[in-house]
Amino acid sequence: MRAYDFWQETGTAESSAYPMASLSLRPSRDATANELQMMFPQGTAPDVQLAIADRVLAGVQRWRDIIAEGVDRQRTAVDELAAAREEIARLKAEREDGAE
C-alpha cells in the first residue's frame, strides 16, 4: 500500500509505551487527514522491535538532515546575495563620490 499526504505545521508523530510500542503519524490536525499507525505483530521479540525502530529513526534522521542541508544552502545563497548587493552599493557610492 502507498499513501501520500502533505505535512502541515500541525502534523504529529506520537508513540505509545512499550510493550505496545506503536507509532502514529498524522500530517495535520484536520479531521479528514490520513493517519498511519504502525505496530508490531504480537510476539515480536524486543530486540527485533528495537532494530526496526533504529532503522525507522535512521531514515527519519536522513530525511531531516537532507532538509537541513537544503535550508542551509538556501540561507547561504541569500546571505551571499545580500552581501554582494551591499558591495555593489558601496562601490557605486565610491564611484559617485570620485566623480564629483
Show the 3-state SS of 43-81: CCCHHHHHHHHHHHHHHHHHHHHHHHHHHHHHHHHHHHH
The pLDDT of residue 1 is above 90: no
Query: If pLDDT is split at 50, 70 and 90, which confidence band does 98 have?
Result: confident
Kind plus residue range of the DSSP H or E element containing 24:
strand 23-26
pLDDT of residue 26: 93
Residue 3, classed as helix, strand or coil, is coil
Q: Give the torsion sign (CA, 74, 76, 79, 82).
A: negative
pLDDT of residue 100: 66
pLDDT tens figures, 3-59: 788 999 999 999 999 988 999 999 999 888 889 999 999 999 999 999 999 999 999
